[in-house]
Amino acid sequence: MIKASYKKYVLNFKNPSGTSRGILKTKETWFIILQKENSYGYGETGLFRGLSIDDVYNYEEKLQWVCKNINLGLENLLAELIEFPSIQFGLEQAFTSLLSKDAFNLFPSKFTLGNDIIPINGLIWMGDKDFMKSQIKNKIEAGFSCIKMKIGAIDFDEELTLLKAIRKEYSSNEIELRVDANGAFHTTNALDKLEKLAKFDIHSIEQPIKQGQVEEMAYLCEKTPLPIVLDEELIGVFSLQKKTALLQLIKPQYIILKPSLVGGFKGSSEWIKFAEQNNIGWWITSALESNIGLNAIAQFTYTLQSNLPQGLGTGSLFTNNIESPLEVKNGALLYNTKLNWNFKF
């Protein structure tokens, strides 16, 4: 018999982090803890307020139900939790962890042995021009060759000026630039903004307009002068039929997968399968999980052997993150086997 419990944990940002949805100061999360005899398994249910489809009033009630019914087994629980993708992901982690020799080594590989790295993008948070400029400088000095800049909160012309300044100093061969609009553009001017952005050799833009405007997004993806990435558009699309239909209708150039938002390893793998069948590129991004969830995402991502920089650099954002062997050096995520986990719950 497996015993299950859960624990809420509030992560505190080192610096308030700006997005198009406002300023983030804290991020609540939950840990699922499984025990079978002397073995333990850990998972994180990374709910993202205001973004997750399972941001609902009875979220903790659902966690309580999961703990009471844990012996239904993983597959049965996943089927019952189709509308709770973050809990699905937490359970996948916890069961995989429970069955592993090392509870934190879910997918043993060269990465977890410390013999290989995962290239990642450096994330530039929204803020005033000087703040964003200083972040860009710091990321380049820290060895990042791929930078992702969140746009849509300050004046668009100022954002173009920042991009122009980067390109004046670094070519697209030296620094890959990604931008993330988080749905900030209006359908009436989105294409015009994309054309202005394209002048700066932008690798791609995430979610230029708000999710749910499927025909408008399909039009943009057909006419765009730079690759478009679907992100929020994937949230809440559960069935296999709807996933394939969405990609075939919109025909994006890329999709981004946040396991906490799209149903964990299983949900992400389904999206990847359909994307590859339709010649659509993809990469994986964390969604402000603690190092417990980030570790699971990173290990899973490494097994997929993507050749693109991933979005896995969020572990250093918090003052009270779980101590772990995960480190960011020279624009890559690595697993430092000389460091230990400090997870006490």
At residue 256's C-alpha, the angle toward residues 128 and 73, to 5°, is 125
Task: Single out the residue of 299, 308, 343, 327 nearest to residue 109, CA to CA.
Answer: 299
CB 14 within 8 A of CB 319: yes
Annotation says 258 is catalytic: yes
CA distance linking residue 208 with residue 281, whole number of Å: 17
- Exactly one of 150, 193, 210, 243 is catalytic; which is it? 150
Annotation says 150 is catalytic: yes
- Chain Cα centroid distance, residue 222: 25
All residues at 6 or more sequence positions from 130 whose CB lies less than 8 Å from its CB, including other chains = none
CB 10 within 8 A of CB 17: no
Is residue 64 classed exposed, middle or buried when 0-12, 13-18 and 19+ CB atoms within 10 A define those classes?
A: middle
Per-residue tokens: 98: 């429970």
Active site (catalytic) residues:
150, 258
